[in-house]
Amino acid sequence: MFLAYVINSLVVVLVVALHYEYLHQTSRYLSTVPLHPRFRIVLGVVGALLAHATEIWIFAIAYYLAIEHLDWGSLEGLDALSLLDCVYYSFTVYTTLGFGDIVPQGNIRYLTGIESLTGLVLITWTASFLYLEMQKYWDSENHPKGG
């Protein structure tokens, strides 16, 4: 059980660090990219979707490895486990959509719970970040300096 705690914690730390770095770099990049403010926001949203998808894949790989190599349980409702099944499951858990057709059994449930919490926090963090970026660029679009 201690190993599960350590690995789950490492996955969460990796995903949060990745997300922080995405937000930090995006904030720096958006202010320098020579695009119309509207396109800067679109670029930020597309980047956020890619960051979240990458984070979901990290969790999916953790599920796959934990089930296939660490014998932490299973995902019931599948005929055979594949990495893409884990990605689908991870998308539903990360977005807190919930699961129904695939249900975790065994110690893998703990990774499922922490992924839901992590996804909720990171999605709201992204929403706050994009809101602030939109405010900044929409204000500059509607009230240009020197004009």
Interval 16-47: pLDDT, tens:
999 999 999 998 888 888 888 788 888 999 99
CA angle 130, 135, 136 (to 5 degrees): 100
Cα–Cα distance for residue pair 76/78, rounded to 1 Å: 6
The CATH architecture that domain 2-141 belongs to is Orthogonal Bundle (1.10)
pLDDT at 125: 97
29 or 58, which is more confident? 58
pTM equals 0.89
pLDDT at 68: 96
Domain residue limits, the chain: 2-141
pLDDT at 147: 44
Which distant-in-sequence residues (6+ apart) come within 8 Å of 62 by Cβ? 7, 8, 11, 111
Which value, to the nearest 10 degrees, does the dihedral of the CA atoms of residues 99, 101, 107, 110 take?
-10
Interval 93-142: pLDDT, tens:
999 887 789 999 999 999 999 999 999 999 999 999 999 988 887 765 56
Cα–Cα distances (Å) from 33 to 25, 26, 49, 125, 130, in that order, read 12, 10, 19, 23, 16
Cα–Cα distance for residue pair 11/128, rounded to 1 Å: 23
CB 115 within 8 A of CB 90: yes
The one-letter code for the residue type at 120 is L
Q: In 10 A of CB 77, how many CB atoms?
A: 14
